[in-house]
């Protein structure tokens, strides 16, 4: 490791956020309710810790289907690969926890050096604080009085808690500042001017609006202008980044302007945040490789899906996978298994995976493996998911395919963010499909 790389490593590690390890470990004492998916039907009062230590083989030992699993070796690979990428480029990482909402995975990300965790909803904030996450980027506007009241109380209760949220209008600045004052917030919170685009979600649409918002923040006693933010993830189509680059260029222009004309000119370091899971390389190119602003910038990526990756969209789009020259650095860590229930027609099979078990918003599950009764897992091709019902998957396959009722099929998925919310507890397995851990989700 070079001296420069080592100094970046030390700076990033020193700035990592905190998490309450004891609270995370206490999840192992959680008793799984009757009806928890994927848990043996005769397991009474089974705890997460007992599941984690069970050493059950998820494909041989009679676990009821459907069953989502996480491959532990892939999780370890992905966490280190993203941490290494950030170290190499000298940027910070605030993983978007909405992907998993699994505090045990948060812990691994934080212990790998995450500067913060990103949240999207008030419920996320409550979960993060319950588990002692010390620095949070709230990737949204805060305008609800009940949430602002809770935040003011949390700032009183926890002097070390650090929050950044987004603002995109003079009105939202006023609502937030008034609410914090009314509920006795003891100190200011950091805010980022959100930059958007025409036809998109929230965010200022141009430089004059950004200047107005920044001026309103500078006039608000309980808000501190920390930098600028955008989300570019909805603009690309996997490989074409033209619209992504256009938004990032707009934000770069606004960031440089505000560095001269707002309270940002007095900060030693301004915070710039962007980067979903598909185009964070374009963010780094814009704000590291080509950054020439008057203030040093702490670029914070907010990628979340990298921790598990997937076998669909992000497998193709990630700069550490499909858009990378050479072998992927991220591995698909998610599989969802189900049982073949029926072969009602020669070219059709019905399995036990449905919309309540697997994501389908960015493509159907992708059948990759099968376990014929009494055999080892084997790769399969030519079997596809044609449709999902609530509890059934309709498969299309060659009439000569030997899949029959009682066999198991395993699939990759596209879009981890809509996979985890369907599972209370998820077994982690080694390369032999033996359970070696278990994680709890907190949706």
Tell me: the pLDDT tens digits for 193-236?
Answer: 999 999 999 999 999 999 999 999 999 999 999 999 999 999 98
Handedness of CA 342, 345, 347, 348 (dihedral sign): negative
* pLDDT score recorded for residue 236: 81
* pLDDT score recorded for residue 2: 45
* pLDDT score recorded for residue 12: 52
Q: What is the pTM of this model?
A: 0.95
Q: Is 297 exposed, middle or buried (0-12, 13-18, 19+ CB in 10 A)?
A: buried
Which residues of the chain are under the pLDDT cut of 70? 1-14
Q: Cis peptide leading into 174, omega within 30 of 0?
A: no
* pLDDT score recorded for residue 11: 46
DSSP codes of every residue in 209-257: HHHHHHHHHHT-TTEEEEEEE---TTS--SS--HHHHHHHHHHHHHHHH
Q: What domains can you pick out in the chain, each with its CATH number?
A: 30-71+329-440 (2.40.37.20), 75-307 (3.20.20.10)
Q: Is 199 exposed, middle or buried (0-12, 13-18, 19+ CB in 10 A)?
A: exposed
Query: Quick check: 408 and 337 in contact, CB under 8 A?
Result: yes
Query: Quick check: 220 and 173 in contact, CB under 8 A?
Result: yes
* pLDDT score recorded for residue 275: 82
Gyration radius (Cα) of the chain, Å = 23
């Amino acid at each position: 490791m070079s001296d420069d790389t080592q100094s970046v490593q030390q700076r990033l590690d020193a700035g990592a956020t905190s998490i309450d390890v004891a609270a995370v470990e206490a999840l192992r004492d959680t008793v799984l309710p009757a009806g928890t998916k994927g848990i043996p039907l005769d397991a009474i009062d089974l705890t997460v810790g007992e599941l984690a230590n069970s050493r059950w083989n998820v494909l041989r030992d009679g676990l009821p289907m459907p069953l989502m699993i996480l491959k532990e070796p892939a999780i370890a690979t992905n966490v280190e690969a993203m941490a290494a990428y950030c170290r190499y480029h000298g940027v910070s990482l605030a993983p978007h926890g909405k992907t998993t909402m699994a505090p045990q995975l948060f812990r691994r990300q934080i212990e790998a050096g995450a500067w913060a965790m990103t949240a999207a909803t008030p419920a996320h904030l409550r979960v993060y604080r319950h588990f002692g996450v010390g620095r949070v980027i709230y990737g949204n506007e805060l305008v609800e009085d009940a949430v602002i009241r809770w935040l003011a109380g949390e700032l009183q209760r926890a002097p070390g808690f650090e929050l950044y949220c987004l603002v995109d209008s003079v009105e939202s600045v006023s609502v937030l500042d008034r609410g914090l004052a009314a509920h006795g917030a003891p100190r200011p919170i950091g805010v980022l001017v959100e930059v958007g685009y025409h036809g998109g979600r929230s965010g200022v649409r141009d430089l004059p609006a950004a200047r107005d918002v920044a001026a309103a923040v500078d006039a608000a006693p309980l808000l501190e202008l920390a930098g600028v933010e955008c989300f570019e993830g909805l603009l690309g189509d996997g490989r074409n980044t033209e619209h992504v680059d256009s938004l990032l260029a707009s934000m770069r222009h606004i960031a440089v302007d505000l560095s001269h004309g707002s309270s940002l000119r007095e900060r030693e370091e301004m915070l710039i945040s962007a980067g979903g899971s598909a185009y964070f390389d374009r963010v780094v190119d814009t704000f590291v490789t080509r950054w020439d602003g008057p203030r040093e910038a702490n670029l914070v990526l907010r990628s979340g899906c990298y921790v598990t990756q997937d076998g669909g969209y992000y497998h193709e789009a990630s700069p550490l996978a499909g858009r990378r020259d050479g072998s992927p650095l991220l591995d698909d860590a998610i599989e969802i298994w189900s049982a073949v229930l029926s072969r009602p027609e020669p070219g059709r099979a019905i399995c036990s995976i449905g919309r309540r078990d697997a994501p389908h918003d960015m493509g159907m599950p992708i059948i990759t493996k099968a376990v014929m009764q009494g055999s080892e897992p084997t790769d399969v091709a030519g079997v596809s998911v044609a449709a999902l019902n609530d509890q059934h998957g309709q498969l299309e396959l060659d009439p000569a395919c030997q899949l029959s009722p009682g066999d198991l099929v395993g699939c990759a998925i596209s879009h981890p963010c809509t996979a985890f919310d369907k599972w209370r507890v998820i077994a982690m397995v080694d390369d032999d499909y033996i359970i070696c851990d278990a994680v709890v989700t907190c949706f």
